Structure 1
Amino acid sequence: MVDVPAGTYPLGRADGPSDQRPVHHVTMGAFRMDRTEVTNAAFAEYLNALGLKVNGSFEIGDIGRRNGPREVVSLLSEGWEGSGRYPIIALDDDQARIVLGDGRFAAAPGYADHPVAEATWAGARAYCLWRGADLPTEAQWEAAARGTDNRQYPWGDNAPDSSKLFVSGRSGVTGPVGVHPAGASQFGALDMAGSMAEWTLSLKRSYPYTHLDGREDPFRAGERVTRGGDYLYDRTPEKQTVSHRDGFSNAPGRGHRHIGFRCASR
């Protein structure tokens, strides 16, 4: 993790889209944030730690389409009728890069250090809580990306290029985390533009931001804010800025090929 000091940080833009206005300031205590997005290997470790009753060996594409162990199907597959379980990751989607073999989960070959995709908002938060952390609020996320010098992008004010972020524009074509040091934020966080959009704790509500209006309540229903332009849909420089908060999709109960996450701790 990287350290983000206590202070007063700007949020939003005076000249940005309506959901980013007005520009205002938020005071927060010190916190820590993951240097990179959570990887497939790390999330597979979490799935194994859950102690699910897993029998046999089959491809993830088979989950939800066969009479496999209900514990796996109900937790890992979207749209399982009558399960009563909230999915944590949609491993039945062909964009997921975690496989199951010999009763254990593992990153698909060649994807261990790529950011995990298809985790639902609840699944992302469950992983962070398992680590003794939580999802960052969107104010924390922007502070970690923007720094104390009010930069436009995590790395500064220069326009995005391939040395600073990963953008492919092709579905499922992700890249490894942490390989663009030129794109680091002031505090050393990487991949805060490009790669995956990232879940935050915050409900999607208008500015000005205040944590007192219930937007940080994890038990309230509603879309959650994603931050950081992603590799697939948000390829324009405008959507790679630190203030961008209008992701392609924010549905918390589904996995998404373009949304990952990182954790924060106080």
Structure 2
Amino acid sequence: MNADLLPIFLQVPAGVFRMGTSERDLSALARRYGGTRESYREEAPQHEVALPAFALAATPVTNALYATFVQATGMTPPLHWRGPLPPTALQDHPVVDTNWHEAVAFCQWLTASLQQTSVVVPGLAPPYRFRLPSEAEWERSARGTDGRQFPWGDEFRAELANTRESNLGSSSVVGSRPEGISPIGAHDMAGNVWEWTASLDALYPYQRNDGREDPTREGRRIMRGGCYVNPQGYARCACRFRLAPTVRNEFTGFRLAI
């Protein structure tokens, strides 16, 4: 394992944050981003969630890092690679075309692999047990504790996120918009690619012990962050999307938690 391929990890202390969107703001979201008030109902009610301490990767998993997994395990590579290695120009872009099960398998493989080496993970102390973040951990990392709309504040700024407004039309190098970091210092939490979380699609209020974090249960899994083809409304910290865990597409990747 090349340690240079591993992301830096950011420590998030135990505490309480405001998750979701308040009922009184649903109509305003509809006026601003389209749809109806009910289009945003899944984000309500806004509620306080207490989380234990955790760490989150500062950037999504890159193609270069995911390639070490593909080569070691024989896992099916993303279709656009056209082989076991990603295109040279995409080495530092977030990996996409990975389904939820493959993302979980990557976490398990990386955990086992590092137990057999002396590699030091930036920002962490061993033992390493990697996993996907819950959607609550993801949102806490994206918006901090003040309920902001975007990682940098309440007003959208096109230059800080790779969304439709950037007119790029493709993914971008991870961490390439450093002024758009979240309160904990995480990059690419608005736009670039959607990110799988560990959580099942379930109604709010979020309760981490109600079965939604059970990796063996069937059902759609929550994705967060929006991507390069979505307009700004999907890049809000509270926006929720979901897909069946078997779906692979060119817009969805993941990042690590521990």
Question: Is TM > 0.5 for Structure 1 vs Structure 2?
Answer: yes
Q: State the alpha-carbon separation in 1 of the partners of residues 224 and 187 from structure 2.
A: 13
Map Cα deviations across residues 233-258 of structure 1 (whole Å, 9 max, x no partner): x21x32211000035xx121021111
Aligned residue number for residue 251 of structure 2: 258
CA distance in 2: counterparts of 1:112 and 1:172, whole angstroms: 18
Q: 1:171 Cα shift?
A: 10
1:185 match: secondary structure: coil
Q: Paired residue for 2:97?
A: 118
2:71 is equivalent to residue 48 of structure 1:
yes
Structure 2 unaligned runs (5+)?
1-8, 27-39, 112-129
Give the distance between the partners of 1:202 and 1:243, measured in 2 at CA: 14
1:4 correspondence with 2:27 = no
Distance verdict in 2 for CA 1:160–1:172, change over 3 Å:
closer
- Any residues of structure 2 matched to 1:47-196 within 5 Å, and which? 47-50=70-73, 52=74, 75-76=75-76, 91=78, 93=79, 96=80, 98-100=81-83, 105-132=84-111, 133-162=130-159, 164-168=160-164, 173-196=170-193
Distance 1:161 1:123 in 2: 31
Q: Secondary structure at the match of 1:131?
A: helix
1:65 aligned partner: none
Q: How far is 1:9 from its partner?
A: 1.1
- The answer to whether the Cα contact below 8 Å between 2:16 and 2:51 also exists between their aligned partners in 1 is yes
Runs (4+) off by over 4 Å = 168-172
The code of the aligned residue for 1:45 comes to T
1:130 shift after superposition: 2.2
Identity of aligned residues (%): 39
- Is the contact made by 1:168 and 1:174 (CA closer than 8 Å) also made in structure 2? no
Query: Is the CA contact (8 Å cut-off) linking 1:5 and 1:29 kept in structure 2?
Result: yes
Residue correspondences, number: 216
Cα separation, 2, equivalents of 1:10 and 1:193: 18
Quote the offset at 1:48 in angstroms: 1.5
1:39 aligns with 2:62: yes
What's the TM-score, normalizing by structure 1?
0.77
- Counterpart secondary structure, 2:223: strand
Greater per-residue helix proportion: 2
How far apart in 2 are the matches of 1:123 and 1:171?
Answer: 27
Partner of 1:218: 215
Task: Give yes or no for contact 1:171–1:257 (8 Å, CA) kept in 2.
Answer: no
Measure, in 1, the Cα distance between the counterparts of 2:153 and 2:237.
Answer: 10
Q: Which residue of 1 aligns with 2:52?
A: 29
State the alpha-carbon separation in 1 of the partners of residues 44 and 147 from structure 2. 15
